[in-house]
Chains A and B, each alone.
Chain A
Amino acid sequence: MPVIESSQGPIWRLRNRNETLKRWFGWLFGVAIFLWCWQQISDATTWFFVWDAPNIAGDILGRATPPRWSYMDNLWWPIWDTLNIATLGTIGALILAVPIAFLAARNTTPSTLFIRPIALLIIVATRSINSLIWALLLIAIIGPGVFAGIIAIAIRSIGFCAKLLYEAIEEIDQSQVEAVTATGASRWQVMVYGIVPQIMPAFAGIAVFRWDINIRESTVLGLVGAGGIGLQLQASLNTLAWPQVSLILLVILAAVVISEWVSAKVRGAII
């Protein structure tokens, strides 16, 4: 701890002068960057609209209440579609994620030099692009509809599931694997009896966790045309039917809360 000698004796300091200066300039630099970014946003904003926002928000709220409950009849089928997109997408993602996870885990990959980087690249690439962008892309390729939504959710979830799963595989207890190997088991038998039972709880937890996230994501996929309740939301927004919008938002909120509750219950039972 640095000390400054003065006439009244030594004064204790947390940092010496160079470190203090370095930190000070670091903060100055950070604040300057933030202010510059704020300037950019401010320039691109029509401030009159922002000051007027409370009125507009009050106006929209007034139009949106009460929700048009009778519209609920048109929503059951989209809700079923949304559930299908999330569930089938999760199943598809898991089927693809399991082999990728085994190829990416250090202790099970056949080749650290060639195959592991490819598996890791797939994980990063699928994870870093949002499901809405995957949906846009798939709609351009295979046309709008529920099917595009399922594939978009599946691709997007591969990276997430495979990443968590390969971390679980890398953390397994090696002695169990050794014990199974010592009985003369083949490579596949070691996997089935030595590795799979150890990662099964993690796998089930990841599946339910991702399903919960996918319910959230599939509710908005319809905004770009990939099926589900988002289609109704987009249609209602386009026609400025605010009572319908508020009903759909309530349904989405309920779906999110229910799926979170289910996922918490199931994970609680597993772990």
Chain B
Amino acid sequence: MSAYATGETHPTLNDMLGTRWRRPPLVQRAWLRWVLVIGGIAYLIAAFLSVEVNWARVYEGLDRGGAFIMAFTQPDFVSRADAIWDGMLESIVMTVASSVVGILVSIPIALGAARNIAPLPIYLICRGIIAVSRALQEIIVAILLVAIFGFGPFAGFVTLSFATIGFLSKLLAEDIESMDRSQAEAVRATGARWSQWIDYGVKPQVIPRLIGLSIYRVDINFRESAILGLVGAGGIGATLNTAFDRYEYDTAAAILLIIIGIVMALEYISGIVRARVQ
């Protein structure tokens, strides 16, 4: 039975004449909407009650917060220049090395993880590698690798390479899966070997995306390399941590400004490169 006079499943203009217009709700089903609203409110109350905030401590901290924000107006690049320079260099070195190795390893895995290229067993293995790499966060991998390899940039390098594989292989494999089949088939029809088929049928279709993703990943790797030092895996993070521990906010501000500057520069460069290759 329809609720509308004209027997339609949705209101017609005749039904709506004379009634007041209401905005359509975001969630169509009424019961689901109410369950979400009531559940959300109940959760918020429970959450707020369980979070303990030491307001006196927060209030005391406001001065220090103000001091830190003021430190951004006069960052101190000079007095810890050696430590900052060494840390930054190590971060950049880790970024470059892990990006190169990560990209090189992730290309064959991406080929294996594309269902239209790889046979099922290889597909499952490569998808498994990608799933493991994506589920484990960089910092946890770094902790384990520091325990295994010892302190230093090598643990960070392996961590970032491993994380790059999960990111790049997945996106590249999706791009390969959505490529134009007819081009690849045309190359195969000429009697090309498997390697020639990949080189002339598949590669030209995915190379712009690969370049774009690689540069984006360099950007991410640099950002991540800045925190790996917190767990002893090399890079600027250790310097930053020391600066915070010693309440040297002006040095910390200088490091943060350098990180922001480099990330902005990388984003700018990656924008230009992606615009050119696509």
Assess the A141–B260 pair: CB atoms within 8 A.
no
Chain B residues with CB under 8 Å of A50's CB are 149-150, 154
Count class of interface residues, chain A = 35 or more
Task: Tell whether A147 pairs with B51 under 8 Å between CB atoms, given A56-B148, A133-B256.
Answer: yes
Q: Are B247 and A253 in contact (CB under 8 A)?
A: no
**Chain B contact surface mostly:** helix
Residue of A nearest to B261 (CB): A128
Task: Identify A46's interface contact among B152, B226, B260, CB under 8 A.
Answer: B152
Interface-located stretch among A3-11, A32-40, A101-109, A169-177: A32-40
The answer, among B51, B64, B227, for a CB contact under 8 Å with A130, is: B227
**Would you call B137 and A219 a contact (CB within 8 A)?**
yes
Q: Which of A97-156 contact B (CB under 8 A)?
A: 124-125, 127-130, 132-133, 136-137, 140-143, 145-147, 150
Closest to B267 in A: A124
Q: Please name all residues of chain A whose beta carbon is closer than 8 Å to the beta carbon of B139 when the two chains form the complex.
A: 132, 220, 223
Q: Let me know if B154 and A140 touch, CB within 8 A.
A: no
Interface string of B130-166 (1 = CB under 8 A from A): 0000011101100110011110111001000000000
Quick check: which of A16-24, A80-88, A182-190 contacts chain B, the rest being far away? Answer: A80-88
Q: Does A74 contact B (CB under 8 A)?
A: no
- The answer to whether A252 has its CB under 8 Å from any CB of chain B is yes
Known: A41-B154, A142-B57, A200-B26. A33 touches B96 (CB 8 A): yes
CA distance A127 to B222 in the complex (A): 13
Residues of B within 8 A of A262 (CB): none
**26-62 of chain A: CB within 8 A of chain B:** 33-34, 37-38, 40-41, 44-46, 49-50, 53, 56-57, 60
Q: Which residues of B sit under 8 angstroms from A60, Cβ to Cβ?
A: 144, 147-148
Binding site for B on A (CB under 8 A): 33-34, 37-38, 40-41, 44-46, 49-50, 53, 56-57, 60, 80-81, 84, 87-88, 124-125, 127-130, 132-133, 136-137, 140-143, 145-147, 150, 197, 200, 204, 216-217, 219-220, 223-224, 237, 249, 252-253, 256-257
Known contacts A80-B50, A253-B135; 7 further A-B pairs (Cβ under 8 A): A56-B147, A84-B47, A87-B47, A127-B263, A136-B244, A147-B54, A223-B139
23 examples of A-B residue contacts, CB within 8 angstroms: A38-B97, A40-B93, A40-B153, A41-B153, A44-B154, A44-B234, A81-B50, A87-B43, A87-B47, A125-B260, A128-B259, A128-B260, A128-B263, A132-B230, A133-B237, A136-B244, A141-B68, A142-B61, A146-B53, A197-B23, A220-B140, A237-B143, A256-B135
